[in-house]
Amino acid sequence: MDAADPTRLAEKLRLAFDLHEAGVALMRQNLRRRLPEATEPEIDEHLAAWLRERPGAEFGDAEGQPVPWPRPAR
């Protein structure tokens, strides 16, 4: 199978989505354990904040120096 095979690319994308869903579910459980008195809407708020501002990945998951986006025209 070629690396650019559409079927293989679709499988990889599906896997990425599945992994994202699993990570969100794990974090939701983590929040429920850490905040046992929180209501479901409060858990949803904490989860949304975590997805926006994940500690350690404020500028994304890649190495390097953050740059403004879109980049200014030269």
What pLDDT, in 10s, does the model give residues 29-61? Answer: 999 999 999 999 999 999 999 888 877 777 777
- Residue 65 corresponds to which amino acid? Q
Task: Determine the average pLDDT of the residues in 18-31.
Answer: 96
Rounded distance, CA 34 to CA 43, Å?
10
- What is the percentage of the chain residues whose pLDDT exceeds 70? 96
Global confidence as pTM? 0.68
Q: How many helices (H) and strands (E) does the chain have?
A: 2, 0
- The chain-wide mean pLDDT, for the chain, equals 88
- What is the percentage of the chain residues whose pLDDT exceeds 90? 58
Residue with structure tokens 């209501």? 39
